[in-house]
A and B are shown apart, each in its own frame.
Chain A
Amino acid sequence: MVEATHLIEIPLTVEIPVGPQHPALHEPLLLKLHADGERVIKVDVITGYNHRGIEKLAEKNTFYRDIFIVGRVCGICNAVHANCYVRALEYLLDVDPPPRAKYLRVLAMELERLHSHMLILAVNAELAGYETLFMYLMKDREYIMKAKEILTGQRVLADYMMVGGVRRDIDEVKKSRILDIVQRVEERVKYYHKVFREDATINKRLRDAGRIKQADALAYSLVGPVARGSGVKTDARAHDKYDAYNEIPFNVITEDYGDSYARAMVRFGELYESANMVKYILTHLPQGNPVPDERKLPRRFPEGESYAIVEAPRGELTYYVSSSGGDKPYRVKIRTPSLNNIVNSAFAYVDQMIADVPIILGSFDPCISCMERAVITDLRRGVKYQIPLKMLGGVKK
């Protein structure tokens, strides 16, 4: 009699595609779920449905035109993209914008963080099936969009940054209008924070969904609110202190537990911080002219390379610009936070329920248009040792 040495379990899995077109996703991405009943045993993250060749386009256009191109990498966080790129150019040219311009840049970026966080919190609620909360949050987010329009002239695509300053100044009337909007929205945010803390469905769905331990967050280089939700105190605004962040007081918000709920709470904390920063900026705005004369800016850039970093609403965003001396960049390399957070976080879905997958993905705040690259990922991890079915034929007796 021969004794068995191996127990081979073949999980009966159903392959469920989430995407590339799916109601849970607002942008094209494919999460291929392998599910055993309701339990997810493996996820493949497949990107590449929205490749636009922005970096190549940047090489083909002038330094100044690229400010508008990089602003269109992402609709929601266009000001931070433009800011990061413009600062990379300023490092190349050795230009320092006036203090008022620095304050106004921070104002635009914090307004953007406000509406971006409100958007993703609304989407989190919607992914948990809470349509009513989604509608309410989106309505109040619209006021912040209005504030951004008062400041920059546009609701969405601001095109506010320019080398050496910003494109428009702000007067007392606009200041008071923005202040009024932010104060009103802050009250509403307090109410939504209460709903998130107390509502049964939100709590049951978000708590323990997609928990990421601090060590994992560090090992997989996760950034932004996702890392901060796992207790990693990382924030480019705090450690790089670019623009006026060295003068404006704020706290880096962290939570320890690392689940979707903790990430939502980090975003709520940051909403309060951003609102306080906006109020501080509007009451402490330095005097001077923040709008540089465009005609006096140099046409050609000196040879060299520069690297700028910015804390986008989704995390650390970096731009590398290389100039070979001329009016066009030799290379522009963009490293977006979503690319890190989505592609590297497939381990967070394993052993969760199918129902939790959209919630976990939503809690990472995915911005698909930011992250389209050709990436090959191996996601087979977990406690049990797994081999592909086709290798079974090779198992020796």
Chain B
Amino acid sequence: MEEITLIALTVFSTLVFPGLLTLWIASMLSEWWVRKLFARTQRRMGPSYVGPLGILQPFADFLKLLLAKTEPNYRHGSVKLARIFGCVGIGAITASLLLLPISPLRIAFNFDVILLIYFLGVWVAISELLMSTSLTNPFTIKGVSRFSSMLVVAEPAFFTATIVPVYLVSLTTKGEPVFSVSTTAEFAWSLWTNPLTAIPMILATIAALVSIQSKLMFPPFNIPEAEQELIAGVVTEFSGPLLALFNFLHDADLYVLSLIVAVVFLGGPYPFSDNLVLGALATTAKYLVILTIITILKSSFGRFRVEQGVSTIVKYGLIPALVALALSIIIGGLA
């Protein structure tokens, strides 16, 4: 009986909450938030036709792409391969969601943060890159080469930053399991109240935000899909269902990365950890704050050149993350 319950819970968690269905809805809503806010900062209307305040516009766009058009045949590319890598990316994001404490199926064990790095850092990035290279043209090649140059510094920056709260929590609290995402989420708030750990936390949060901006190809790091230079760069060859898949992958990445910052860095439901509803509201509020910061950063910059972009990520992403980690290790030594 327990096994059946476990299987049912696994299926529910993977497919419904916080898995695929919730991921899709949350990703589309996040896209709407970013689009609407971005438009308002530019004195534009933004999405406004489908649903109240255009909230259903991303859903309509997704369905339109999914249903209305068929993919063309490519002589030197493989749509099937692109589709497979798109699904692998979505799968990796869904799997990483199960590690977060919002999941009914709690997967938590010692050092599970490594699994998060493996899913989000390795597989999502690789899927995006390989999805693009499956359908090549000069613009795609340029876009992929630019994207990989940026990921080389952006991924280490994000995960060094993520390790900071994970390490500090396992150092300062007696939470079990150690080096685990869910334990970190539970105790992350305590790091902000201690002045000693607050400094590396501030640095790590800044580093995480900068690297998220670059992983998502948002300005000033929209170098791989620079419209004015490379048509659409990595996205150039996508159309129809494939574009819908890529957009979903991108939005899901936005959702999960922002959620990780809200939960792992800012402590998720804190200060309402005991109340499910208020806790969920607190997590959502923190999540929306992160999305808003990302959108404001997006609207306040132009685009760097690739080498300027990489040096900016090193300067404001990788170096703060490494300094934060070094400080954490020193704090660990003192403790």
Contact = CB atoms under 8 A, between A and B. Distances in A.
Given A14-B138, A132-B41, A199-B302, 10 more contacts: A125-B302, A129-B219, A129-B220, A130-B301, A130-B302, A130-B303, A131-B42, A132-B42, A201-B302, A354-B142
Interface in A261-301: none
Contacts of A132: 41-42, 299-300
A128 B138 contact: no
Nearest to A124: B302
Contact of B43 (A135, A200, A354): A135
A353 interface: yes
B142 A16 contact: yes
Interface in B110-153: 138-139, 141-142
A205 interface: yes
A127 B228 contact: yes
Nearest to B39: A135
A135 B223 contact: no
B308 interface: yes
B229 A355 contact: yes
A131 B35 CA distance: 13
A204 B304 contact: yes
Contacts of B226: 129, 355
Nearest to A358: B228
A358 B229 contact: yes
B226 to A, nearest CB: 7
Contacts of B142: 14, 16, 38, 354
Interface residues of A, number: 31
Interface in A98-125: 125
A344 B308 CA distance: 29
A342 interface: no
Interface residues of B, number: 27
Contact of B229 (A133, A136, A202, A357): A357
Contact of B227 (A23, A202, A354, A356): A23
Given A14-B138, A127-B228, A355-B226, A136 B42 contact: yes
Interface of A: 14-16, 22-24, 38, 125-133, 135-136, 139, 199-202, 204-205, 353-358
- Among all A-B residue pairs, the 5 with the closest Cβ atoms: A129-B303, A130-B302, A201-B302, A24-B228, A135-B42
A126 B227 CA distance: 10
Nearest to B149: A38
A16 B143 CA distance: 12
27 contacts: A14-B141, A14-B142, A24-B228, A24-B229, A38-B306, A125-B302, A126-B228, A129-B301, A129-B302, A130-B219, A130-B301, A130-B302, A131-B42, A132-B299, A133-B302, A135-B42, A139-B43, A201-B219, A201-B220, A201-B302, A205-B302, A205-B304, A205-B305, A205-B308, A354-B142, A355-B223, A355-B229
Contact of B139 (A16, A131, A135): A16
Contacts of A199: 302
A354 B302 contact: no
Nearest to B223: A355
Contact of B303 (A15, A201, A353, A357): A201
A132 B296 CA distance: 10
A40 to B, nearest CB: 11
B14 interface: no
Given A16-B142, A131-B42, A23 B231 contact: yes
B44 interface: yes
Contacts of B41: 132
Interface centre among A22, A128, A199, A356 (most CB of B within 10 A): A128
Contacts of A24: 227-229
B222 interface: yes
A107 to B, nearest CB: 29
Contacts of B223: 355
A24 B233 CA distance: 13
A66 B229 CA distance: 38
A62 B67 CA distance: 56
B141 A129 contact: no
A16 B229 CA distance: 10
A204 B42 CA distance: 22
Given A132-B299, A136-B42, A201 B304 contact: yes
Interface in B218-249: 219-220, 222-223, 226-231
Contacts of B44: 135
Nearest to A354: B229
A16 B226 CA distance: 14
